[in-house]
Chain A
Amino acid sequence: MTDDAVGIAGQVRAGAISAVAVAERALGAIAAGDDVVNSFTGVLAGRALADARRVDELVAAGIDPGPLAGVPFAVKNLFDVAGEVTVAGSKISADDPPASADAEAVRRLSQAGAVLVGLLNMDEYAYGFTTENAHYGACHNPFDLTRVAGGSSGGSGAAVAAGFVPLTLGSDTNGSVRVPAAVCGVFGLKPTYGRVSCRGMLPFCDTLDVVGALAPSVRDLAVSFAVLHGYDPDDPVSADRPREEAVDLGAGIDGLRLAVADGYFARGGSPEALAAVSDLADALGVSERITIPHAREARAAAMVITATEGAQLHLASLRSRPADFDPMTRDRFLAGALAPARAYLQAQEFRVAFRERMRALLQTVDVILAPATPFPAPVVGQREAIVDGARVLTQPYLGVYTQPISFAGLPVLSIPVTTVGGLPLGVQLIGGHFAERTLLRVAAELEERGLARMASAVTPWR
Chain B
Amino acid sequence: MNDNAKSPRTLVAVAVALAFSLLPAAPAPAQLGSPDFANPPEVRSRDKERALQAVVRIVSGKFTIPNVGTENLRQFQGWDAAAKTPPAPTAVSPGPTLRARLGDRVNIAFLNMTDDRLFSYTFDTTSPPGYSGFGCDRTMNMPKSGDYPGPAEDHPGIGDKFPNCFHGSSTANLHFHGTHTSPDGLSDNVLVQVLPQPRQPDWTRTFQQIFAAPTIPQKWGDLPQAYRDAQAAMIRDHDRAAAAAAKKNNLRPPDPLGPKNEVRIKAGYWPQYIMGAYPNTFVIPDYASGKYKAGQAPGTHWYHAHKHGSTSLHILNGLAGVLVIESNAEGGYDHVIRKFYGWGNVYGDHEKILVFQQYDATQNLQRAGGGGGKKGEGKGSKQVLLNGKLTPTITMKPGEVQLWRLVNATEGNVFNGGIIDASLFTAPGFTFRQTAMDGVQFSPSNYAAQPFLGGQVPNAGGGTAGLTLAGGNRADVLVQAPAATGITAFKSGTGTVFFVNVTGPAVTQDPPFPSAWPEMPRYLQDLRAPGPKDVVNPGSPVKFQWEQGRTDTGLLPATPPNYPPHYMINNKQFEETGPIVDQCMPLDGLQDWVLENWTTVPHPFHIHINPFQVIRIEAPTGPNQWSTYTPKDNWVWQDVIGLPVANITTAGQVTPGRVTIRHTFVDFIGTYVLHCHILGHEDRGMMQLVRVVRASQYPMGCQGITPEHH
Say whether A associates with B.
no
Chain B residues engaging chain A, CB cutoff 8 angstroms = none
